Structure 1
């Protein structure tokens, strides 16, 4: 990650309990069986590959994961990744808002961003380019900027300028809702940044782009014992 004197953003990544996350991917890690342990391993792998890219990005200053799953906190804590529990209000957008508030409490002048946790094909340079593009828009007066997903309907990254509320509106048709709220769309190609993974088709598309090592390992066939 970047030093504090470089243009940068502080990012929050929320994570559901692993057993409940990515329900439409259940069975993808174990040939359709859908065993809870295999599914949780895949959800964690998607997160780890996302975080690996974030940590290698030069335009990210600080990363905060928001999750009340003790497995997430324990596994990420081993690698020195900061994890905060969810607040009293459940849901994805409250988790983003809580994370942004915690980041801003450390630095009121920070640009803050909301990143999805399921970007296994994300490349650090894509994230860097998107952050730099957002900061350039902020320098010209924009207040928020976002990256739409590969389908153009969802959002994978939302960034708020220093001093501006994040105002996350993730969910169905979030790209339209973010734009209607004044966020500016970022137009770079960035295939890995746009390729979130909710379904088996999404996972195949991400595989074609090149998965990170954690997701690749989670999808590897488990040898049967004799």
Structure 2
């Protein structure tokens, strides 16, 4: 079974999820961004096809919440989603070389060289290990693959098989770019209920409502419940009803 080293880029939490304003204040957005990332990491760690999780970016102040075994590396300057992803892929390959050399010195054959690399955006609070395993299982049949987001314009997951050149194109119109670059579209290869969880990133209040309907991870559930208990002005209510607030449709980035 092909397994993957999974890179999760994380934007500065204090600056994340600006498209959730003005419905949520800056503190609420940062709390939710943190929760989204931690739920995404938890799902990845529990997936059978994930060998290792590498987080690139800001989890400052939350290191104690990061599960054991996750590699956390600083985001390079100047900060950008593309730079963070490139850095994470390079780190995964560096660790692979180090492990292979250590194994050879100890007389062991390393299986690391047979693992793929995946980039998974960290704003998937409804993601489950089963959904990610289904996507990675489908991806393992292709040298390059990607999962478009729920709007079919962005990308939530991009993968490369072992020994395959990997230069994903996250950002504006990334779904179109990935198809043009020869990445296989996984949206019809995964059962719809699982694909829906895999594709449901959260940038807007409507998207958050949709994720609530799918079922959230523990961190996001707790973050929403805590803010509702405090009754802070402008907080989003998890009543699974679509919001009537206007949605900013500007380009999306990392979690």
Partner residue of 1:199?
204
Partner residue of 1:8?
3
- Decide whether the 8 Å contact of 2:6 with 2:119 is kept in 1: yes
- The runs of 5 or more residues in structure 2 that have no matched partner are 98-112, 233-255
Q: Report the Cα offset of residue 216 of structure 1.
A: 1.2
Q: Report the Cα offset of residue 93 of structure 1.
A: 1.4
Divergent runs of 4+, >6 A: none
Q: Report the Cα offset of residue 88 of structure 1.
A: 2.9
1:106-129 alpha-carbon deviations (Å, 9 max, x no partner) = 226331000010000001111111
Q: Report the Cα offset of residue 165 of structure 1.
A: 2.6
Q: Report the Cα offset of residue 90 of structure 1.
A: 2.0
- Decide whether the 8 Å contact of 1:97 with 1:166 is kept in 2: no
Flag the structure with larger Rg. 2
* TM-score, length basis structure 2: 0.77
2:31 paired with 1:18: no
Partner residue of 2:95?
106
- The runs of 5 or more residues in structure 1 that have no matched partner are 1-5, 138-142
Q: How many residues get paired?
A: 209
Partner residue of 2:51?
61
- Decide whether the 8 Å contact of 1:27 with 1:39 is kept in 2: no
- Decide whether the 8 Å contact of 2:52 with 2:69 is kept in 1: no
Partner residue of 2:32?
42
Output the aligned Cα RMSD.
1.9
Change (3 A) 1:38 1:136: same
